[in-house]
Structure 1
Amino acid sequence: MDLGLWMETLWASALIKVIPFLFVLTVIVFFHELGHFLIGRLCGIKVLAFSIGFGPELVGFTDRRGTRWKLSAVPLGGYVKFLGDENAASVPDRGALEGMSEDDRRHAFPAKSVGRRAATVAAGPIANFILAIVIFAGVAYFNGRVVGDPVVAEVRTGSPAAAAGFAPGDRVVAADGETIAYFSDLQRYVSTRPGTPIRVTVERAGRPVDLTVTPRQETQTDGFGNSYSVAVIGLVANNDGSSFRVEEMSALQSLDYGVSQTLFIMGRTVAFIGDLFAGRQGTEQIGGPIKIAQVSSQVATIGFAALLNLAALLSISIGMLNLLPVPMLDGGHLLFYALEAVRGRPLSERVQEIGFRIGLALVMLLMVFAFWNDLSGLV
């Protein structure tokens, strides 16, 4: 192959992978930092900088309130810098308050009440959850929702469903007393309960039949060759399309769907973390920027709506990650503020500094581990 053609092909391939990744990450980071920014300003805190990315500034401008809006060279995150909160580890610099004018002191982050500081910090993850709700609701409203009747077309041989006595033609009515309206409702219910017996009511020949099935954890592969672990029972819906349809949704129904979808994913994330520590999930499912870029490029081939749904999913993940009680993350700040509220005074700067150093080490270890998983997946 000609060297010029090879370089052109390589460059085109890189763009295909990078552009969807940058779009998804920029949207998520922007809304996360926008949450901090808006609530911070509402609480009377002066904002010095709003940056998408880290490192040297590429382009930017200063607004009439003195905030520098900028796009920086390393597009793997972002930050909002408040007056008086300028330490590299985000430790409030209370000593700097003494050298400020009276007006600046009133608008500095450390001078605000613990409630206002906590609200400003919590606003970032909350903005991520709101973004996910809006995306899920918007996609459902404009595109509708693909749904399928909960009718069994096939029972896989040797599956938990086969052992439980399911039969083709069964219509699933309820799971543990909860109504099942669509096949996806059953999939969602089963996926969160590996190893837990479920009482399923089916309609067979016009009569209700109660069956008990225990989901089994399996490793499956998606259409792009990515492996993932999920709880299944071995039921297959009708794949000829006759039982599937696009259901239009009103604005209110779409909003309700967006909220329920977001809450479901949050619950699954918490369950995954619990399963991870309990040894029921493998650490190979933890990915970093390379994995996100790979998945973003794959999902982008399906369509823009699918890429938006991925952005919503990642927005929830980043919001929940930031709420972990680890110094350096928003959750760590909130932990310190909770201790301050209980004690009636903040922890010493020395204690906070030690906490942030430990938090930085933990975050760096997680990043290294995620990169290692990414590289192992490529190999």
Structure 2
Amino acid sequence: MSVLAAIGVLALLIVVHELGHFAAARLQNIHVNRFSIGFGPVLLKYQGPQTEYAIRVFPLGGFVGFPDDDPDSDIPPDDPDLLRNRPILDRTIVISAGVIANLIFAYFLLTAQLATIGLSDFNYQPGVAIAEVVTEPVTAAQKAGIEAGDIVLSINSQKLAASEKSLPEFMEKIQQSPDRPITLEIKRGEEILSLQVTPELGADGQGKIGVILSPNGELSHDRQNPITALSMGANEFQRLSVLTFQGFSHLILNFSETANQVAGPVKIVEIGASLARSDAGSLFQFGALISINLAIINILPLPALDGGQLAFLLIEGLRGKPLPDRIQDNIMQTGFVLLLGLGVFLIVRDTANLEVIQKLFQQ
């Protein structure tokens, strides 16, 4: 169910984006002949009075189609309600409406979360939790008698405070102490134990004891009244937007180091499913973050994206006339093929890296 919830969130964001284009066109009485979620062959479709609505095979996005270049359209080429015959401002509104819709939707997702569930907040408690002890091969933690569910209160008499810094401090101490005994004060149920563990020297030259750690504490939700939610939603929207811009800047400026961190639909669904399992309320914030990312990606001046089409409109405004259709078509088709290829590559890579697939290969 968590996977379906994550897929549902991703699909909803695509629908919102395309609805932005669709609504902006129809509100200006511009002809629209197709509304599609996905690309490739049609799976399901419905023919409305003016528009064909379809779901297609490859769920890598969607599109709103216009009859401007449809040879089967019975609309005269000089019809003033064809998109290409509208002023630059009208076309700019239609093209940018998808990005605007995603940004508005992200804000309302955050506001809805604040008003109904509240933003997730982690209440830290002293220590670091042992989520799991690795048993194959035998590890230092297993030899020392450490068990899943233990809470490490101190390491070599150094207390681990109720703070987000405790976990990295504990990890750093372990990594810096290969082959050197360490004394841990552990809380197990109502008991307080003192255990000695000797981190093993790893291949990277750092110490390791063979455990999976997690912060000690619990999630809480602070629900707000609707008026406060509107204000706090704006603050949270601003925070997530700034973080997303910083992330894209870091990716572009350090592409050789960060390229492997680019995620496709499979990885996004995996992250969303993990959030849904741990805290369903986090899907609101997950959806808002992905919606902001979708908006920023689409506004980039790349072929086949909204930003690429806006770049053509900018050139048209500066030249006083559009680029020849042949040049625009070649650029857009090349961009579409490259983006589709990137999407397929990310899907294959992220699918191969899924835990369930890795286990199959190991058997």
TM-score by length of 1: 0.63
- Rg (Cα) greater in structure: 2
Question: Retained in 2: the 8 A contact 1:147–1:245?
Answer: yes
> What are the within-5 Å matches in structure 2 for residues 1-379 of structure 1?
16=1, 18-64=3-49, 66-86=50-70, 100-101=75-76, 105-147=79-121, 246-279=221-254, 282-371=258-347, 373-375=349-351, 377-378=353-354, 379=358
Question: Retained in 2: the 8 A contact 1:128–1:318?
Answer: yes
1:101 counterpart SS class = coil
Q: CA deviation at 1:56?
A: 3.7
**CA–CA distance in structure 2, aligned partners of residues 107 and 126 of structure 1:** 23
Question: Retained in 1: the 8 A contact 2:2–2:276?
Answer: no
**CA–CA distance in structure 1, aligned partners of residues 262 and 244 of structure 2:** 12
Identity in percent: 29
Q: 1:258 to 1:26 in 2, by over 3 A?
A: same
Q: CA deviation at 1:124?
A: 0.5
**CA–CA distance in structure 1, aligned partners of residues 162 and 45 of structure 2:** 61
Q: Which amino acid aligns with 1:118?
A: T
Q: 1:74 to 1:362 in 2, by over 3 A?
A: closer
Question: Retained in 2: the 8 A contact 1:45–1:83?
Answer: no
Q: CA deviation at 1:361?
A: 4.5
Q: Which runs of 4+ in 1 moved over 6 A?
A: 151-154, 167-171
Q: 1:48 to 1:375 in 2, by over 3 A?
A: same
Q: 1:17 to 1:85 in 2, by over 3 A?
A: farther
Q: Which amino acid aligns with 1:273?
A: F
Q: Which amino acid aligns with 1:313?
A: L
Q: 1:275 to 1:295 in 2, by over 3 A?
A: same
Q: Is 293-302 or 275-284 further displaced after alignment?
A: 275-284
**CA–CA distance in structure 2, aligned partners of residues 353 and 148 of structure 1:** 51
Q: CA deviation at 1:370?
A: 2.4
2:7 counterpart SS class = helix
2:353 counterpart SS class = helix
Provide the aligned length of Structure 1 versus Structure 2.
277
Q: Which amino acid aligns with 1:133?
A: Y
2:61 counterpart SS class = strand
User: Which sections of structure 1, spanning at least 5 residues, go unmatched?
Assistant: 1-15, 87-92, 155-166, 172-182, 184-224, 226-235
**CA–CA distance in structure 2, aligned partners of residues 272 and 46 of structure 1:** 38
1:106 counterpart SS class = coil
Question: Retained in 2: the 8 A contact 1:83–1:107?
Answer: no
Q: 1:145 to 1:18 in 2, by over 3 A?
A: closer
Q: 1:60 to 1:369 in 2, by over 3 A?
A: closer
Q: 1:246 to 1:290 in 2, by over 3 A?
A: closer
Structure 2 counterpart of 1:176:
none
